[in-house]
Amino acid sequence: MTTGVQGPAVRVQSLEKSYRELHVLRGVDFDIARGAIFALLGSNGAGKTTIVNILSTLLRADAGMVSVNGFDVATQAAEVRASISLAGQFAAVDEILSGRENLVLVARLRHLKDPGKIADGLLERFALAAAARRRVSTYSGGMRRRLDIAMSLIGNPPVILLDEPTSGLDPEGRLEVWQAVRELAGQGRTVLLTTQALDEAEQLADRIAILHEGRITVNGTLAELRALLPPAKVEYVEKQPSLEDVFLAIVRGGSPGGSDGADTAAGTGR
């Protein structure tokens, strides 16, 4: 809808933000190329969410230049909001509405035609069709996250901001979210994701940046980041299945497509 603007999908230059005396961002610079998955790593309180909130026009920067899809977040906030979609740190879904109603709500707020059809398509795609008419309060954590991400895809915004999309999810839920993120990038969307899980960045991201003490200290591909350390030594270790391998083997019980059923069943118990 608002594509076609030249330049990187996201450009952040000399971004600064303080909360009273706390100087959270002290000059952050990074670009995200169109169609890339960009992972922003950092420990708790490093300022990842602050950056996401500034990119999504929820928070005003103290200094610096930030543009999304070619639009300045300070002066063209409405255009920025039409270009982005935000999935915050906690699945921001309406618990009292059903999954389908949540999707229809966002589709209507994005002023799209035929919200019901859009909702049904996404429910199918995110394996939520069976639970479509149940209240979200009965959903499991993984289902909520899937709904959350489905909501952020409505309207096909070119830039998607995911703030810790897998925090608090079980390994299966994590894999489902990862799959969804890969699909998004496959469709040419730009994804910024923040995470504390290093393996998540390793699995998904084209580029990884580390936010530390208010600045981006490292920014590069995984290979470039690895090259920062001394070259790998060859060691021989016995390959044991990891606990995650064991867990997933047991939970999935041999039927690879069985994960949705398990999720739905788990959901009713909560």
Partner 1 sequence: MTTRFVGDTVVLTGRSLRHITRSPDTIITTTLMPIAFMLLFVYVFGGAIQHGSGTYVDYLLPGILLITIASGISYTAFRLFLDMQGGIFERFQSLPIARPAVLWAHVLTSLVANLVSLAVVVLVALLIGFRSPAGVLAWLAVAAILVLCTLALTWLAVIPGLTAKSADGASAFAYPLIFLPFVSSAFVPTATMPGPVRAFAENQPVTSIVNAIRDLLTRQPVGSDTWIALAWCVGLLVVAYALAMRTYRRKFS
Footprint of partner 1 on this chain (CB under 8 A)?
53, 56-58, 60, 78, 81-82, 84-86, 88-97, 101, 105-106, 108-111, 135, 151
CA proximity to 34, closest of 71, 61, 9, 67: 9
Q: Are 48 and 214 in contact (CB under 8 A)?
A: no
* Cα–Cα dist 194/51, whole Å: 10
**Least separation, in Å, of the C-beta of 93 and partner 1?**
7
Query: 236: which 2 tokens?
Result: 């021989």
Nearer to partner 1, 137 or 219 (CB): 137
Q: Is 35 left (phi over 0), alpha (psi -120 to 50) or beta?
A: left
Minimum CB–partner distance for residue 77 and partner 1 (Å): 9
CB of 152 to partner 1, least distance (A): 8
Cβ closest to partner 1, residue 79 vs residue 176: 79
Q: Closest CB to partner 1 among 90 and 227?
A: 90
Is there a contact between 145 and 136 (Cβ–Cβ < 8 Å)? Answer: no
The CB-of-104 to partner 1 minimum distance in angstroms stands at 9
- Residues in contact with 101: Cβ distance below 8 Å, sequence separation at least 6, in sequence order: 94
- For residue 30, the cross-strand partners are 12
Q: Which is nearer to partner 1, 37 or 149 (CB)?
A: 149
Contact status, residue 214 vs residue 27, Cβ threshold 8 Å: yes
- Minimum distance from CB of 254 to partner 1 (Å)? 37
Nearer to partner 1, 65 or 262 (CB): 65
Phi and psi torsions of 200, nearest 5°:
-65, -45
